[in-house]
Amino acid sequence: MNDRLTPVPEDKFAFGLWTIGHPGRDPFGDSTRPPITTADFVRGLADIGAWGVSFHDDDLMTFGAPESERRAELDAFKKVLDETGVVCSMATTNLFWHPLFKDGAFTSNDREVRRYAIQKTLRNIDVAAELGAPTYVLWGGREGVESAASKNPADALDRYKEAMDFLCGYVKEKKYNIRFAMEPKPNEPRGDTFLPTIGHTMAFINTLEYPDMVGLNPEVAHETMAGLSFFQGVAQALWQEKLYHIDLNDQKIGRFDQDLRFGSEGIKDDFMLVRLLENSTYDGPKHFDARPYRNEWGNGVWDFARGCMRTYLALAAKAREFDQDPRVKDALAAASTPELAVSTVGAYSAAAVDQLMQEQFDVAALAARGYANETLDQLVIDRILGI
């Protein structure tokens, strides 16, 4: 494997302001390291060859501070973006930290909270537009319940849709060049979250007034928590032209949201994912929503960030090698993989029915064949292991 493993901006790797600099606070313990200032964070990204940065409103501008102070914080951010050439690739709203969001934001039972949540989002959409961020992510961290009796789910989904339609209306009216990307998660911090998976969220998007303005920001950890294959979910999102953004990290199945370094756990699914993305038309950010281990310190947090990108590039190189390997081509043929791309019956017509009904099938022969998947899958493993 002689492809480069050092990232360049053209790779479009991006990190959230809340990721590399995460001070290690968790529900059981306080921060284990000092935070990184926004300016140092952006300079650090430029140094390691990352391309983009994303932010929550409250990461960038102090919550509740006077407008003049928030403006100064925003201007300082713009200055360091200019200096470094790092791009603001995505913006999002923090609708989960403040105690007022404890019952939800767009789906809180309290109408005042819902109105405040939309106002907070509109304010930050203006900031996103000013910074040229083309994607606005919505992760409904607090949109859910512990007590299922506390919310009529149909009312909650009505309010969710109402909020999304309103936000789309605003972006259209302002002629902002922004699309929304909704981020599903099954649970945590709520006991059960509304729009828990990629599938639920894509179905919900189809009910919206402007479905073309809204797509997905799926995350490795979130589908894996639900016991689902992230690869299959992303593949369907791509097929439905709904992959607007992606949160890359890693996760052990059946755990709390671990936000591990990309490629550190589910290496086989990660290989398939990278191969999928590299062979697709997706050209958005490869955005890492991950955190260094809580026991990391100092420059180690940048080793974490480099590791995310290094593994992505390594898997992309392995994917290219895999696709060029003549043994893989033979194994795919033995598995009849190309045949799945051939239409089965074509569009419905009476003539097609006639033709189908006259056909004789050798059922015994069809049952007796094999698909040689063992050889094919071993080639996947051999390639990942480099043997």
The answer for residues whose C-beta is within 8 angstroms of residue 255's C-beta and 6 or more apart is 225
Q: Would you call 75 a catalytic residue per the annotation?
A: no
Query: Catalytic: which of 11, 58, 59, 103?
Result: 59
Name the segment binding Mn ion (CB under 5 A); options: 270-278, 283-291, 324-332, 359-367: 283-291
Nearest distance from residue 29's CB to ligand GCO, in Å?
17
CA distances from 187 to 154, 177, 190, 203, 294 (A): 19, 31, 5, 19, 22
Nearest distance from residue 228's CB to Mn ion, in Å?
14
Between the CA atoms of 223, 311, 53 and 77, what dihedral angle is there, to the nearest 10 degrees?
140
Q: Does 250 bind Mn ion (CB under 5 A)?
A: no
Residues that bind ligand GCO (CB under 6 A): 92, 137, 139, 183, 185, 219, 247, 257, 289
- Residue placing its CB nearer to ligand GCO in the complex, 94 or 311: 94
Nearest distance from residue 240's CB to Mn ion, in Å?
20
Alpha-carbon distance of 200 to 193, in angstroms, equals 11
Tell me whether strands 144-145 and 192-193 are parallel, antiparallel or unpaired: antiparallel
Q: Applying CB under 5 A, what is the total number of residues that bind Mn ion?
A: 5
Query: Catalytic: which of 11, 22, 56, 287?
Result: 56
The neighbouring-strand residues paired with 318 are: none
Joined together, the tokens standing for residue 208 give 């919206």
CB-neighbour burial class of residue 189 (10 A; exposed 0-12, middle 13-18, buried 19+): middle
Q: Which of residues 219-248 bind Mn ion (CB under 5 A)?
A: 219, 221, 247
Nearest distance from residue 55's CB to ligand GCO, in Å?
9
The neighbouring-strand residues paired with 2 are: none
User: Which DSSP symbol is given to 253?
Assistant: T
Nearest distance from residue 235's CB to ligand GCO, in Å?
20
The answer for residues whose C-beta is within 8 angstroms of residue 97's C-beta and 6 or more apart is 58
Angle between helix 300-324 and 373-385 (nearest 10):
140
Is the CB of residue 225 less than 8 Å from the CB of residue 186?
yes
- Residue placing its CB nearer to ligand GCO in the complex, 139 or 322: 139
Q: Which residue blocks in the chain are alpha helix, DSSP H? A: 38-47, 57-60, 67-84, 111-131, 153-174, 198-205, 220-225, 230-239, 267-278, 300-324, 326-334, 350-358, 363-368, 373-385
Alpha-carbon distance of 217 to 157, in angstroms, equals 19
Nearest distance from residue 215's CB to ligand GCO, in Å?
14
- Applying CB under 5 A, among 57, 103, 257, 265 the residue interacting with Mn ion is 257
Q: Would you call 287 a catalytic residue per the annotation?
A: no
Residue 291 interacts with which of Mn ion, ligand GCO, none, CB < 5 to 8 Å by class: none
- Residue placing its CB nearer to ligand GCO in the complex, 62 or 378: 62
- Applying CB under 5 A, among 289, 292, 301, 311 the residue interacting with Mn ion is 289
Closest CA to 202 of 174, 227, 232: 232
Closest CA to 215 of 196, 191, 238, 190: 238
- Residue placing its CB nearer to ligand GCO in the complex, 301 or 314: 301
- Residue placing its CB nearer to ligand GCO in the complex, 249 or 328: 249
Is the CB of residue 72 less than 8 Å from the CB of residue 32?
no
- Residue placing its CB nearer to ligand GCO in the complex, 143 or 247: 247
Nearest distance from residue 259's CB to ligand GCO, in Å?
7
- Residue placing its CB nearer to Mn ion in the complex, 223 or 296: 223
Residue 92 interacts with which of Mn ion, ligand GCO, none, CB < 5 to 8 Å by class: ligand GCO
Give catalytic residues, as residue numbers: 56, 59
Interface with Mn ion (CB under 5 A): 219, 221, 247, 257, 289
